[in-house]
Amino acid sequence: MPFADLGLSDELLRAVEEAGYSEPTPIQAQAIPSVLMMRDIIGIAQTGTGKTASFVLPMIDILSQGRARARMPRSLILEPTRELADQVAQNFEKYAKYTKLSTALLIGGVSMGDQVKALEKGVDVLIATPGRLMDLFERGNILLTGCSLLVIDEADRMLDMGFIPDIENICTKLPANRQTLLFSATMPPPIKKLSDRFLSNPKSIEVARPATASANIAQMLVPVGERDKREMLRQLLKSEGVDSAIIFCNRKTMVRELNKSLKRHGFKSGEIHGDIDQSARIAELEKFKSGEINLLVASDVAARGLDIKGVSHVFNFDAPWHPDDYVHRIGRTGRAGATGKAFTFVTKQDAEAIDNIEKLIGNKIERLDTGVTIEESDDGGAARGRPARGGAKRGRGKSEERPAQRERDDRPARGEKSEAGERPAREARPAREARDERPARAERPARPDRGDRGRDRPRRDDRQQDDGPDDGWNGPTPAFLNFGFDS
């Protein structure tokens, strides 16, 4: 089906053609006509499926009639992270170039002054992370009563990050007769509840996970001892004809260490993780996009949604704990029809994680012949000084282990501005506290009473075993986390 059959305006068709798209992706073909008919939508789709354009394109046509008024945005797009919000804003820039629509980005970690000024002028499209939006709302800088179109993007990720109470709150402040579009990779019960409560007779659209469509990514497992990982990485970087690569680590500490090591060895590398403030993150991404650096060492904060053209390789320096993260990580390569390669380093401790990944993607991943098997690959003394990854080895349940780890990567470090930016005493707000401490979706135990929330906090010991910096370990890596790597 050509784009011209979807009911979009000529100006938009021109912008789409200039973007180089010949035909709509399945989510676009199904969503765009319904959005133009003002229907509510539940889109079960992940990044990489073209879902951003599936709401941005019809929104541009819907909003092209009418004018923005001061402090009263006409539409609102909620994104879980600053990076995703920024990316959606770039999509608007690309597709709305033949219209006069104004957009404003409300994200934490950057000054509020310019954001308030933009709101004062009046904006057609407000793209926001929930924390900053609520802060500005509570300060009286925004009125949401003129907002007739709401997009809740990456709803399951919002759930992971504890944003659902904020979203519910925001929904009650918008006019009841608005149009609502909700996108989520999965539909866990809390998201279903949210859609039942705030969407009206929605059309459900489901498209295949990129995991099933990623035939253009060649995947390989690399059995390797923990102590040999860096050497192995350097070898592969040299032998594999890497144009540009994202290298994922499970911990921020490791991201920093590995980046330093690569630089020492003469590679052009940079780093991105949750402890780096927003302007530095954007600067690092720009360097990567422009080719000033061609290796980006990253935590999972960069795994979802980042759309960088021409990433030839993904390396999982650490095998991800969660199979979904694997799919997101490797999806940073092989985008928009290009081919890519994904190498995952595996020690014997990762056997269970790899099993789960292979179950999810429905395939055995080919093993690279490194001279050792996964079972033989030394875990570098993981059981001695490091938190066990699978949880089982050290007798700790998964729910105690991964969630804090995953969520912490998205949290600002102490001293860094939080999602709420300048707002002091953020932790005092129950919703925020919940966001920081609630376990991830899959492992979440029965919801505790509000009064019990404090008990959800990981014990000090547990937190220290993790990356640490968010809780005050911004200094050098403690000795027991150094595994005697070569450099």
Kind and range of the H or E run holding 201: none
25 touches ligand AMP (CB under 6 A): yes
The residues, any chain, with a CB within 8 Å of residue 358's CB and separated by 6 or more, are: 364, 365
21 touches ligand AMP (CB under 6 A): yes
For ligand AMP, the closer CB: 8 or 194: 8
Q: How far apart, in whole angstroms, are the C-alpha atoms of residue 312 and residue 244?
A: 5
Closest residue to ligand AMP, judged by C-beta, is 52
214 touches ligand AMP (CB under 6 A): no
Burial environment of residue 291 by CB neighbours within 10 A (0 to 12, 13 to 18, 19 or more): exposed
Q: How far apart, in whole angstroms, are the C-alpha atoms of residue 169 and residue 483?
A: 46
Annotate 399-463 with three-state secondary structure. HHHHHHHHHHHHCCCCCCCECCECCCCHHHCHHHHHHHHCCCHHHCCCCCCHHHHHHHCCCHHHH
Q: What is the per-residue binding string for ligand AMP in 327-366, x denoting contact by CB under 6 A?
A: --------xx------------------------------
Give the distance, in angstroms, between the CA of residue 203 and the centroid of all CA atoms in the same chain: 25
For ligand AMP, the closer CB: 53 or 236: 53
> Which of positions 290-309 make contact with ligand AMP (CB under 6 A)?
307
Residue 53 CB, nearest distance to ligand AMP (Å)? 5
97 touches ligand AMP (CB under 6 A): no
Q: How far apart, in whole angstroms, are the C-alpha atoms of residue 467 and residue 407?
A: 11
Q: What is the per-residue binding string for ligand AMP in 46-85, x denoting contact by CB under 6 A?
A: -xxxxxxx--------------------------------
Q: How far apart, in whole angstroms, are the C-alpha atoms of residue 41 and residue 151?
A: 9
418 touches ligand AMP (CB under 6 A): no
Q: Judged by CB under 6 A, which stretch of 42-50, 150-158, 365-373, 431-439 contacts ligand AMP?
A: 42-50
Residue 325: CB atoms within 10 A of its CB come to 21
For ligand AMP, the closer CB: 27 or 106: 27
Q: How far apart, in whole angstroms, are the C-alpha atoms of residue 286 and residue 280?
A: 10
Residue 41 CB, nearest distance to ligand AMP (Å)? 15
For ligand AMP, the closer CB: 52 or 129: 52
Interface positions with ligand AMP (CB under 6 A): 21, 24-25, 28, 47-53, 307, 335-336
